[in-house]
Amino acid sequence: MSETSGAFATTALSGYELLADPQLNKGTAFSEAERDAFDLHGLLPPSVLTLDEQVSRRLQALRGYETDLERYAFLRELQDTNETLFYALLVSNLEELLPIVYTPTVGEGCQHFSRLFRKPRGLFLSIPHKGRIDRILAHPRFDKVEAIVVTDGERILGLGDQGAGGMGIPIGKLALYTGCGGLHPATTLPILLDVGTDNPDCLADPLYIGWRNERVRGQEYDDFIEAFISAVVKRWPRVLLQWEDFAKNNATRMLDRYRDRLCTFNDDIQGTAAVATGALLAAINVTGVPLTEQRVAVLGAGSAGCGIASLIRAAMRDAGLSEREAATRFFMVDRDGLLLEGMTGLAPFQLPFIQNKQAIGDWKLSHPDKIGLLDVVRNARPTVLIGVSGQAGAFSEPIVRAMAEANKRPVIFPLSNPTSREEATPADIEAWTEGRALIGVGSPFPPITRDGARFKVDQTNNSYIFPGVGLGALAVGTSHVSDGMFMAAAKALASSSPARDNPKHNLLPPVSALREVAESVALAVALQAHKEGLVTDVAIDQIEQRIRAKMWTPGYIPYRRTA
């Protein structure tokens, strides 16, 4: 462990032990004086390099690999060896490295996690060790923890149940919390709740590192989650906890159960909603269609899809529509077709978006017993089409052309991750709409050609939202994360849209500006929390300074040795 004081840090570690600590290791950047003091001579080559020189060497090595999975494994190894160097490399090359650290490559990393696992990072809390959670969390190495990302691995991106391999998601998300939001890595903790897996490939794999058991459900699952949350609140009363990649049946249920017990949110539900809403608000500046006249079709009526619809509906209410009027403007399509009154087996969060049968009485339908997305687009003539279904190619050419026929500038957001699960590719959407669509995708794609020039496609991804939400909440110590804070985040993102100044520009700022985006989102979130009375001991004129003080910039500081 180390203590930081002013412009230097102290530690009792030396030699191999110091080099083995990823938070303290500087590798070849240890000075001559530090090598003397910490017994490092002979353990390192004699040249002393700067951090910039180390970044240059690692970037050159990274680019030498042939596949993104190899690059992912290289970066994970670097993160587990020297965190300062890892984050300096990430921050200075966000656009190049984000697709490797995060989506889409993180999905492949989860699928191969058992084979890539080298060093412990974060915590694996399993059902057999339920009675040990308090003891595990009590270790002094976790004293500085402020932010947790947790998953149970059941719904990893669009890839489904990855069991213990789902740990790649909390690790990747927290890398963005630091790289984009500036949270110090020592304050972050990834957690995998290992309740088993129903993935037959995992269970049959002799190298699988997780608990080899069918996934636990029902009361035993709920009791385990309760034991975990109780232990977290006891250990860190002011911690920020982000739920990630839980299945539909648990995601909304867990959020509703615990959102008032601690500072917590579900990124799949609320983060996805905020980025989609922010991108739509930005698109309105281009299309000229006011929010009160938008009609929204969503493919994938799970927790993410209904979360998006809920936040856009709230924005419509803010713009002047009544609750009833706003609700009628959403057309939610799931595996059984358009959500209609009379359907059975619907989840509570889907009920506000059921369409009245009388409202579609004059629709011309190709399959009356199951109203699919094409029938919805042809009859409802939505202005916005959003995909969170995980179904590759679900936005077929007839569907996209029908959107283009109904709208001068259709808004089409295939948001499913990873790239292999996107509902349509930007190149196809561009071709099928004659270049008129406003496109947002969940994972990075190559640029398209528009008006004879290369045009970067907006990555309408949660990375624009959650780092700033977490930064703002922690900077002012908010007690909870409210829906209003996510609305503030969406509006802050929209206000930073390059299209506000020129409709030919992108809806969202470039990925390289994510750190600046996080700061502006954090300010909006913190101000909203203050307005709602969720902040008690921070004056409003202190908020901006608190946010900037919370943002860590990767860099080495001198060390002094303690006895």
Known catalytic residues are: 102, 173
Query: What ranges in 236-333 are assigned the alpha helix state H?
Result: 248-258, 272-287, 303-318, 323-327
* Cβ-proximal residues to 93 (8 Å cutoff; 6+ apart), any chain: 59
| 243 and 251 Cβ atoms separated by less than 8 Å | yes
β-pairing, 448-450 vs 453-455, is antiparallel
Structure tokens at 74: 């290289």
| 151 and 193 Cβ atoms separated by less than 8 Å | yes
Cα separation, 69 vs 319, whole angstroms: 45
**Helix (H) or strand (E) run with residue 148 in it:** strand 147-151
441 forms bridges with which residues in the sheet? 459
Peptide bond between residue 418 and the one before it cis (omega within 30 degrees of 0): yes
Cα separation, 378 vs 165, whole angstroms: 41
Cα separation, 563 vs 560, whole angstroms: 10
Tell me the chain's radius of gyration from C-alpha atoms.
Answer: 24
Cα separation, 57 vs 85, whole angstroms: 11
Residues in the chain: 563
Structure tokens at 163: 């069991």
β-pairing, 438-441 vs 411-414, is parallel
CA 179 to chain centre: 13
Cα separation, 82 vs 516, whole angstroms: 25
From the DSSP assignment, how many helices (H) and strands (E) are in the chain? 23, 17
| 224 and 130 Cβ atoms separated by less than 8 Å | yes
Cα separation, 414 vs 126, whole angstroms: 35
Cα separation, 212 vs 221, whole angstroms: 16
Side chain identity at residue 310, one-letter code: S
Look at the block and give the residue holding tokens 């199951």: 370
Distances (CA, A) of 22 to 1, 5, 84, 219, 545: 11, 19, 8, 39, 29
SS3 54: helix
SS3 485: helix
